[in-house]
Amino acid sequence: MDFKQRGKFAWLSHLMYSIKHRGLASTCSMGLKEWQKERELGIKTFGAHAPAELSIEADSKMGGHLYQPSSSVIFERAMNALPYNFSDKVFLDIGSGKGRALILAAEAGFRKAIGIEYANELNDIAYTNIEKVKSKFPKTEFVLQEGDALQYDITEEVDVIYFFNPFDEDAVRGLMLKVKPAFERKKPIYLVYVHPVHCNVLEEVLGDPTSVVKNWKQIPDVAVFSNQAKL
Ligand SMILES: C[S@@+](CC[C@H](N)C(=O)[O-])C[C@H]1O[C@@H](n2cnc3c(N)ncnc32)[C@H](O)[C@@H]1O
């Protein structure tokens, strides 16, 4: 699948990809759940947008993938692979798009959800979505930052770094320059990589994943890395 393709046909290609890798029944059931989640939360995060259609100033635009929202089904399975209660934990979404993963993190109970996104239009939509749900999640502080994730310093407070296939292999290598120091700290930290197409890069830098969540066709949906012993 070409993750940089233009949005017009991207949804179709994404649908075909999902049917191929998950099967028709599972794709339909997931689609219905995502639609219900949008209605339940009153947010608008659907759509597919290629970097070429967005106002992005960062040089790393070249390596950026298509915007697509996280699936709440996969998000929940990913969070179940982490060993703790999130009420005192901080979540960081690398390439936060329209804010879906941040909102799902609030729903999971994180005390703070930080998003870094380089596309101005997507960040604006994320603000609107978060305004709509803020009162539902009073215990979560939301922070949206516009900018290049490859230049973003991961602060000590972060417990979970999340990314849903935001960019190509070179950019993943660039991101590892920021992730590695965070993993060298004593504090436990987890990295959740959804749709882990460049997992080899993370394995080179961080070692083997502590867990891998696979779909029923045994294709990895999520790889979890940690600076702690195996989960
Ligand atoms: C597949 S979408 C995931 C969106 C969101 N994390 C979610 O799960 O709903 C990837 C996002 O990463 C953003 N992105 C890609 N490269 C980036 C970079 N270098 N800095 C910041 N954002 C980036 C894209 O604009 C897009 O919104």
Q: Does the CB atom of residue 116 touch ligand 1 within 6 A?
A: yes
Supply the pLDDT for residue 35: 95
* Residue 30 resides in a domain: yes
User: Which residues of the chain, if any, have pLDDT below 50?
Assistant: 230-231
Which of 213, 202, 225 shows the shortest CA–CA distance to 73?
213
What are 115's strand-pairing partners?
93, 144
Q: Does the CB atom of residue 174 touch ligand 1 within 6 A?
A: no
Choice from 5, 14, 68 to test ligand 1 binding pocket (greatest atom count within 8 A of CB):
68
* Residue 2 resides in a domain: no
Supply the pLDDT for residue 10: 66
* Residue 115 resides in a domain: yes
* Residue 46 resides in a domain: yes
* Residue 75 resides in a domain: yes
State the number of CA atoms in the 13 A half-sphere of 194 facing the CB.
Answer: 24
Q: Which domain, by its residues, includes 171?
A: 7-226
CA distances from 26 to 12, 150, 195 (A): 16, 34, 16
Q: Does the CB atom of residue 95 touch ligand 1 within 6 A?
A: yes
> How far apart are the CA of 48 and the centre of ligand 1, in A?
11
* Residue 141 resides in a domain: yes
* Residue 1 resides in a domain: no
Supply the pLDDT for residue 230: 46
The verdict on pTM exceeding 0.85 is yes
Cα distance between residue 184 and residue 37, in whole Å = 37
> How far apart are the CA of 39 and the centre of ligand 1, in A?
23
Q: Does the CB atom of residue 122 touch ligand 1 within 6 A?
A: yes
Q: Does the CB atom of residue 115 touch ligand 1 within 6 A?
A: no
| pLDDT, tens digit (0-9, with 9 covering 90-100), for 211-231 | 999 987 788 999 999 998 644
Choice from 45, 118, 146 to test ligand 1 binding pocket (greatest atom count within 8 A of CB):
118
If one counts the domains in the chain, the total is: 1
Cα distance between residue 65 and residue 93, in whole Å = 15
* Residue 121 resides in a domain: yes
CATH (domain of 54): 3.40.50.150
| pLDDT, tens digit (0-9, with 9 covering 90-100), for 35-46 | 999 999 999 999
Taking every pair of C-alpha atoms in the chain, what is the biggest distance, in angstroms? 45
Question: Strand 220-226 vs strand 190-194: parallel, antiparallel, or unpaired?
Answer: antiparallel
Supply the pLDDT for residue 221: 92
Backbone angles phi, psi at 13, to 5 degrees: -65, -35
Q: Could you give the angle at the alpha carbon of 7 between the alpha carbons of 163 and 34, nearest 5°?
A: 55
